[in-house]
Amino acid sequence: MGLKSDDLARLSPAAQKQVMEKMQKPGKYKAQKTKRGKLTFDSKKEAERYDALMLLQKAGEIRGLKLQVRYCLQEAYTTFEGDKVKSIDYIADFVYERRTAPDSYGQRYWLPVVEDVKGYKNPSSAAYRVFSMKAKLFKSRFGYGIVEV
């Protein structure tokens, strides 16, 4: 015997919220989804990094902050036998440009930065091995690496 929508409707709003929270599936590595205004982040750590990057952007140290940018590491293709192979994509948590220190002429430049927030690193896990492979493909294709935070 399970809980039906009629049963849920009879509960108080506070009790409904509690039931809905219990029913939600926990995220990867027990990360808690966190909101910042209209944005929802996969973890507290990612939301805190967003806050820090917003402060850096307001201070002028970084510019062009973007979230969840997709990079194609390898295009999809069809083999000679007719088998379709899907593309390999990487979705970055944060992408922005950071200012360099002044060179000998006093000139400052903007360098691209791609960040991936890692709350829990387990080098033996399949997910981390996939990330490592994608990070190598990214560096090979774009000429700079992914910064792990």
pLDDT tens digit string along 112-143? Answer: 999 999 877 788 888 889 999 999 999 999 99
How many beta carbons lie within 10 A of that of residue 48, not counting itself? 15
pLDDT bin (cut points 50, 70, 90) of residue 59 is very high
pTM score? 0.77
d(CA 119, CA 27): 12
Q: Look at strands 110-116 and 146-148 and give their pairing.
A: parallel
- CB neighbour class for 25 (10 Å; exposed up to 12, middle 13-18, buried from 19): exposed
- DSSP letter at 105? T
What would the two tokens of residue 97 be? 């440009």
Average pLDDT, rounded, for the chain: 89
